[in-house]
Chains A and B, each alone.
Chain A
Amino acid sequence: MDPLNAPYPRYSDAEPFTESYSSTILKMFVETLARWRDVQTLDLGPVCQENIMFFAKRVRRHYVCDMFLRLQREQDKKSGRGDAFRHLDYPPGSFDGIQLWEFTDHLDDHQAKRLVKRCFDMLRSTGLLMLIALEKKPSPDIIKTLVIGRDHLLDVREQPHLKLPWYCRHNRSLLSLLADFDIVRSFRYRNGLREFLFKKPGLVRD
């Protein structure tokens, strides 16, 4: 096959989301939560059986609000787009951890700022925010779930029912967006993924 017409570039590390990888941020996220009692977490989707069971087995109560699908439905509405963020109506300080996954890659700057503000409010003091971001829009631009496997291995599964725009950001934009949080760790992987672990400022868990 002519490499110029190949579906993927020749360099294996150029396209994100083509292979599974072991997530250091996920490991840190769950190990930190393990030190706390009565943990509550929120997953913003997409809905994924493996991820639900992974967290439901480890925390007292695991919440799921599939914002990918909600954003999709608002986008598909013909009679005026609604506000997908109205679904994030949890009271302040509800969660010890929020899994954003790569949701911000599908939000414009205004939407992303609103989401980050909501997450900040919904987290308890010292609560953790797990964020994954792509360096660039993948090709083909199919949205994929990161599926948790053994030993914090994240595999990928296509979600063909989701068609959302892409707004991949540079590090500086991302860190500016999350300026209210303290950054705990960040990693960049060969597959083009970046992982971030943020913490809501505070001395003790309230």
Chain B
Amino acid sequence: MLGKPKKPENEAPFTAGKTMEEQKPAPSASAAPSAAPASPAPQPRPVPPSNEEKTTIGQQISIEGRIRGEEHLVIEGSMKGNVQMEKHNFTVGANGRVEGEVRAQNVSISGQLKGTITAVGKVEVTKEADFYGDIKAKSISVEDGAYFKGSIELSREPHRKSAFAEAAGGPLSSEAPKAAFSQPDAAKKEP
């Protein structure tokens, strides 16, 4: 809910995200975002579990600043700033443009993202995406055709050898690791 304290579930929801969606009723997770019925019958809408809620920043919206959230977030507009929502998913839609640092459960990119991603779970980069930055995640999928420049670092379980070390089945090189590679920021070099 974009940094606001969570409201009781039986209270009428009014979130910053829905404000940005021009106060349209929140679509359910399976409904198309723009498919609003012409004259909906006034029926009590079941409140979805909080972890299914989703906020969409529409195409005509620009945001600059920091976002912390307790629900899924979709950016179809433009955003500059950091996003922190480790228990929820972050999506950059086909028209979305994001610049900043993103920390989320899972991240999906179909638009433009420039910055760093730290995902607890998976990062998906579709063929429409334009990504430039660094990714740290448990797993990653990148479709053929994605415009991609970046680094990938997979989260590894602590105290576990790398696949290379396991595959080699022997001691690692006797060469001492050099300082140049203990300075990732220097080597990273994304302007």
Q: Are B187 and A40 in contact (CB under 8 A)?
A: yes
Report A35-62 residues with CB < 8 Å from chain B CB.
35-40, 45-49, 52-53, 56-62
Q: Are B150 and A63 in contact (CB under 8 A)?
A: yes
26 A-B pairs whose Cβ atoms sit less than 8 Å apart in the complex: A30-B167, A31-B168, A35-B173, A36-B172, A36-B175, A37-B177, A38-B181, A38-B182, A47-B143, A47-B148, A49-B141, A57-B154, A58-B167, A59-B164, A60-B181, A61-B151, A61-B152, A62-B153, A65-B149, A66-B148, A69-B145, A73-B147, A90-B189, A91-B187, A91-B189, A159-B145
Interface of B (DSSP majority class): mixed
Nearest CB of A to B127, in Å: 8
Contacts of B11 in A (CB 8 A): none
Q: Are B187 and A47 in contact (CB under 8 A)?
A: no
One of A49, A56, A206 near B153 (C-beta < 8 A): A56
Q: Which 7 A-B pairs have the closest CB atoms?
A: A34-B164, A34-B168, A38-B181, A58-B164, A57-B163, A56-B152, A35-B173
Whether a CB of chain B sits under 8 angstroms from the CB of A89 is: yes
* Complex alpha-carbon distance, A46 and B187, angstroms: 22
Contacts of A89 in B (CB 8 A): 189, 191
Q: Are B172 and A56 in contact (CB under 8 A)?
A: no
* Known interface pairs A35-B168, A39-B164, A91-B187; A48-B149 also in contact (CB < 8 Å): no
* Complex alpha-carbon distance, A39 and B175, angstroms: 12
Q: Are A30 and B164 in contact (CB under 8 A)?
A: yes
Q: Are B172 and A48 in contact (CB under 8 A)?
A: no
Contacts of B147 in A (CB 8 A): 66, 69, 73
Whether a CB of chain A sits under 8 angstroms from the CB of B159 is: no
* Complex alpha-carbon distance, A147 and B152, angstroms: 18
* Complex alpha-carbon distance, A91 and B184, angstroms: 12
Whether a CB of chain A sits under 8 angstroms from the CB of B178 is: yes
Write the residues of chain A forming the contact surface with B, with a CB cutoff of 8 angstroms. Answer: 30-31, 33-40, 45-49, 52-53, 56-66, 69, 73, 87, 89-91, 93-94, 124, 145, 157, 159, 161, 204-206
Interface-central residue, A46, A66, A124, by most chain B CB under 10 Å = A66
Report B151-191 residues with CB < 8 Å from chain A CB.
151-154, 162-165, 167-168, 172-173, 175, 177-178, 180-182, 184, 186-187, 189, 191
Interface-central residue, A69, A87, A159, by most chain B CB under 10 Å = A69
Q: Are B140 and A53 in contact (CB under 8 A)?
A: yes
* Complex alpha-carbon distance, A56 and B178, angstroms: 20
Whether a CB of chain A sits under 8 angstroms from the CB of B144 is: yes
Q: How large is the interface on B (under 10, 10 to 19, 20 to 34, 35 or more residues)?
A: 35 or more
Q: Are B189 and A94 in contact (CB under 8 A)?
A: yes
Contacts of B187 in A (CB 8 A): 40, 90-91, 94
Other A-B pairs, 5, CB within 8 Å; known A64-B150, A159-B144: A35-B172, A36-B175, A47-B146, A49-B141, A69-B145
Q: Are A145 and B150 in contact (CB under 8 A)?
A: no
Contacts of A35 in B (CB 8 A): 168, 172-173
Contacts of A52 in B (CB 8 A): 140, 142, 152
Whether a CB of chain A sits under 8 angstroms from the CB of B82 is: no
Contacts of B181 in A (CB 8 A): 37-38, 40, 60
* Complex alpha-carbon distance, A31 and B166, angstroms: 11
